[in-house]
Amino acid sequence: MAGKAKYKNLWMRENRDRFTLIMPKGQKEKAMEFARSKGMNLSEYINDLIRKDMSADDSSASASRRT
């Protein structure tokens, strides 16, 4: 069992980045509940928001280059 945990930790270190998000007291629970209502955990929800925002920004930048 320890070998499995060691492998999982190694994989996470090699394939994922981590960061700390600081928010007002009580906001985390609200965000977690909202993410759950969308069928996601908080990490998935935050990543989805970032991906969509960056995609929208890329789209608007492409549009402005065409004009």
Count of domains for the chain: 1
43: in domain: yes
7: in domain: no
Does residue 45 surpass a pLDDT of 80? yes
Give 57's pLDDT tier (boundaries 50, 70, 90): confident
Classify 24 in phi/psi space as left (phi over 0), alpha (psi -120 to 50) or beta.
Answer: beta
* Residue 52 domain boundaries: 19-66
| pTM higher than 0.75 | no
Average pLDDT rounded to a whole number, residues 15-37:
96
Q: What is the pLDDT of residue 19?
A: 92
In the Cβ-directed half-sphere of 24, how many Cα atoms lie within 13 Å? 2
48: in domain: yes
